[in-house]
């Protein structure tokens, strides 16, 4: 299902009031005075079209010409969103798709007449009623900028739109660690101490989720024929954070009301937990740290835990006390006993760690990235995980440019595996994906800009065997543009009144970079 064209009507919210034709194969134009839509076939082939890639279009222009706005408009082509919007000014557009035949999606209140060669092929049409089925198209927004638009929404379990920005990943991170903590009630209706404790952790994960995505992707590319254009990383460093790094009196990253709600329990926890280290002979290794964290969680959740464990002198003795408590305690959280299952799984994870050795380097541990991933991915696939929130992978392996290309590619790879990370959410992509990339060149070295389109195509072909893509990206880079035929580019420019218009530009494909820079566009 390919988006060929969109007309955006008068909208006082922004100045983007015009039409955009994304396909080189058709000339499409809308006469809004006479409500006539013209569709004519051109004898220009689309060099990007394959079984997996329907089209690639580049949007270029000065700052403020509406490149990001256009991508947002494309992301909003949804019967979900249109039905939920009451403001007419947000609805005025006409979109033309091709899916074996032409499909016209008209959100205006006017009847539109269709003229040209395509009239006989027109099989679906909607006027004021939104009756065109868009349930087979997912929109994916990808950017390295700090843009924060809508995050995601679904329909009937399928992803309708998802924004893979850093802001969205903060939200996904909270969802991921909330689910791994077996939080029975995220909304405070069942405020057991277990639920309260598990609601604290996701606020302090500090890019742990992003690090897991990075490593998953970096291990994946090591098995590919084509070398990753970013940095090749062989080893990673990590440390084990302590529970009192998360649960402490300051609770600095929580809002005022949440702090007040947790304040009493946290102070009680600190008073009891601080007594543990003074009584224990510990090697201060990974296993010891995790056993201390397990004891800390039991102290927080169950007031009688300290009395249960009595005297102990070694970390192994404390561990046995923890296991005995978990076995004997009459958990009453719910009929499916998620609390007990969570702590039983914690014991299994610690036992696996005990059988594993890691090289210590100062306060951190070093491990081969493949070996580390093969070990840690089992905890990701588990329904719950005690361990994951405490593993702090040190992000000292990338520069800002290396981080940008890693973000870009790892998030695309993550999208192909999103179901594996959120099994309880049942995330599913539709077969057709409209991939919207804002500022594809942002932070990228010129060498990477030169390769990014080819790298992107290869990644999509490798990771999405069952999906078909259309790509629309914005850029400021003539280096990226030199891989694009002019007919696959949309050039935006402001005139002296501030109105945005399209500009005709000479051929870009294979063009000398210096000549492209000389264009007023750049």
Q: What is the pLDDT of residues 385-410, one digit of tens each?
A: 999 999 999 876 688 888 889 999 99
Which of these three, 393, 427, 461, is where a domain ends?
393
Report the CATH number that the domain containing residue 17 is assigned in CATH. Answer: 3.40.50
pLDDT number for residue 3: 94
Answer for the pair 214, 265: CB distance below 8 angstroms, yes or no: no
Question: 39-42 contacts: CB < 8 A, separation 24 or more?
Answer: 39/96, 39/102, 39/114, 39/115, 39/116, 39/117, 39/118, 39/119, 40/116, 40/117, 40/118, 41/117, 41/118
pLDDT number for residue 125: 43
* Percent of the chain predicted with pLDDT > 70: 77
Answer for the pair 391, 208: CB distance below 8 angstroms, yes or no: yes
Which of these three, 342, 369, 393, is where a domain ends?
393
Weakest mean pLDDT among 114-128, 244-258, 420-434, 459-473: 114-128
- Has residue 239 got a pLDDT over 50? yes
Q: Does residue 284 sit in the same domain as residue 383?
A: yes
- Has residue 370 got a pLDDT over 80? yes
**Residue pointed to by tokens 């040209």:** 116
Q: Does residue 380 sit in the same domain as residue 405?
A: no
Q: Does residue 318 sit in the same domain as residue 405?
A: no
pLDDT number for residue 44: 87
**20 falls within a domain:** yes
**474 falls within a domain:** yes
Residue 323's nearest CA partner among 411, 386, 407 is 386
**Strands 137-143 and 158-164, bridge-based pairing:** parallel
* pLDDT tens digits for range 300-344: 888 888 888 777 778 898 999 999 999 988 886 555 588 899 999
Give 199's pLDDT tier (boundaries 50, 70, 90).
Answer: confident
pLDDT number for residue 506: 55
Q: Does residue 251 sit in the same domain as residue 388?
A: yes
Greater pLDDT, 90 or 398: 398
Q: Does residue 151 sit in the same domain as residue 28?
A: yes
d(CA 455, CA 462): 11
**173 falls within a domain:** no
Q: Does residue 31 sit in the same domain as residue 87?
A: yes
pLDDT number for residue 155: 59
Give 184's pLDDT tier (boundaries 50, 70, 90).
Answer: low
**479 falls within a domain:** yes
Domain hosting 67: range is: 2-167+399-512
Which of these three, 358, 393, 428, is where a domain ends?
393
pLDDT number for residue 472: 97
**143 falls within a domain:** yes
Could you report how far apart the first and last alpha carbons of the chain are, in Å?
33
How many structural domains does the chain have? Answer: 2
Averaged pLDDT for residues 112-129: 57
pLDDT number for residue 380: 93
d(CA 514, CA 516): 5
Weakest mean pLDDT among 291-300, 484-493, 506-515: 506-515
pLDDT number for residue 105: 82
Averaged pLDDT for residues 488-507: 65
pLDDT number for residue 519: 57
Give residues with Cβ within 8 angstroms of 267, minimum separation 6: 249
- Has residue 357 got a pLDDT over 90? no
Averaged pLDDT for residues 125-152: 66
* pLDDT tens digits for range 437-450: 999 998 888 889 98
- Has residue 200 got a pLDDT over 60? yes
Q: Does residue 434 sit in the same domain as residue 381?
A: no
pLDDT number for residue 504: 58
**462 falls within a domain:** yes
- Has residue 129 got a pLDDT over 60? no
d(CA 325, CA 510): 70
Q: How far is CA 245 from CA 252, 253, 435, in A?
A: 11, 12, 39
Q: Does residue 212 sit in the same domain as residue 285?
A: yes
Q: Does residue 404 sit in the same domain as residue 389?
A: no
d(CA 344, CA 367): 27
**353 falls within a domain:** yes
Q: Does residue 161 sit in the same domain as residue 260?
A: no
Q: How far is CA 80 from CA 215, 432, 477, in A?
A: 35, 17, 34
d(CA 347, CA 145): 41
Q: Does residue 259 sit in the same domain as residue 380?
A: yes
Mean pLDDT of the chain: 81
The whole-model pTM stands at 0.86
Q: Does residue 25 sit in the same domain as residue 124?
A: yes
Weakest mean pLDDT among 39-43, 129-133, 312-316, 366-370: 129-133
Averaged pLDDT for residues 375-390: 92
**156 falls within a domain:** yes
Give residues with Cβ within 8 angstroms of 367, minimum separation 6: 235, 236, 238, 358, 359
């Amino acid at each position: 299902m390919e988006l060929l064209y969109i007309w955006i009507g008068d909208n006082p919210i922004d100045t983007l009031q015009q039409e955009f034709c994304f396909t080189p194969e058709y000339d499409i134009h809308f006469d809004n005075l006479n409500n006539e839509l013209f569709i004519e076939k051109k004898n220009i082939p689309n060099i990007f079209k394959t079984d997996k890639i329907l089209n690639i279009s580049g949007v270029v222009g000065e700052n403020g010409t509406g490149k990001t706005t256009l991508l947002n408009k494309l992301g909003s082509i949804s019967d979900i969103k249109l039905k939920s919007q009451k403001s007419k000014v947000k609805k005025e557009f006409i979109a033309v798709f091709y899916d074996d035949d032409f499909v016209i999606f008209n959100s205006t209140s006017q009847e539109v007449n269709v003229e040209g060669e395509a009239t006989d092929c027109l099989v679906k049409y909607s006027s004021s009623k939104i009756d065109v089925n868009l349930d087979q198209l997912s929109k994916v927004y990808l950017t390295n900028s700090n843009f924060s638009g809508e995050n995601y929404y679904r329909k009937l379990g399928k992803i309708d739109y998802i924004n893979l920005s850093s802001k969205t990943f903060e939200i996904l991170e909270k969802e991921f660690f909330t689910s791994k903590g077996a939080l029975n009630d995220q909304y405070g209706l069942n405020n057991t101490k277990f639920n309260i404790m598990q609601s604290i952790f996701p606020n302090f994960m500090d890019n742990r989720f992003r690090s897991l995505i990075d490593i998953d992707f970096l291990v994946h590319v090591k098995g590919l024929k084509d070398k990753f254009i970013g940095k090749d990383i062989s080893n990673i460093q990590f440390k084990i954070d302590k529970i009192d790094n998360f649960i402490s009196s300051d609770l600095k990253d929580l809002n005022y009301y949440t702090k007040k709600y947790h304040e009493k329990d946290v102070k009680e926890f600190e008073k009891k937990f601080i007594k543990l280290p003074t009584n224990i002979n510990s090697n201060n290794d990974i296993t010891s740290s995790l056993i201390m964290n397990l004891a800390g969680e039991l102290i927080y959740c169950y007031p009688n835990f300290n009395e249960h464990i009595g005297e102990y002198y070694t970390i192994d003795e404390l561990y046995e006390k923890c296991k005995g408590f978990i076995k004997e305690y009459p958990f009453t959280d719910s009929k499916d006993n998620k609390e007990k299952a969570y702590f039983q799984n914690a014991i299994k994870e610690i036992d696996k760690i005990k059988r594993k050795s890691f090289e210590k380097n100062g306060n951190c541990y070093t491990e081969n990235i493949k070996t580390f991933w093969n070990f840690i991915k089992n905890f990701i696939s588990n329904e719950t995980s005690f361990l994951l929130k405490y593993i702090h992978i040190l992000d000292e392996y990338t520069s800002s440019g290396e981080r940008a290309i890693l973000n870009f590619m790892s998030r695309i790879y993550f999208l192909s595996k999103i179901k594996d990370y959120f099994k309880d959410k049942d995330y599913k992509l539709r077969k057709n994906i409209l991939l919207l990339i804002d500022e594809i060149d942002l932070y990228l070295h010129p060498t990477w800009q030169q390769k990014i389109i080819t790298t992107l195509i290869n990644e999509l072909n490798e990771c999405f065997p069952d999906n078909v893509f259309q790509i629309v990206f914005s850029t400021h880079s003539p280096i990226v543009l030199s891989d694009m035929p002019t007919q696959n580019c949309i050039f935006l420019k402001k005139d002296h009144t501030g109105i945005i218009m399209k500009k005709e530009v000479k051929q870009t494909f294979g063009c000398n970079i210096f000549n492209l820079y000389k264009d007023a566009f750049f």
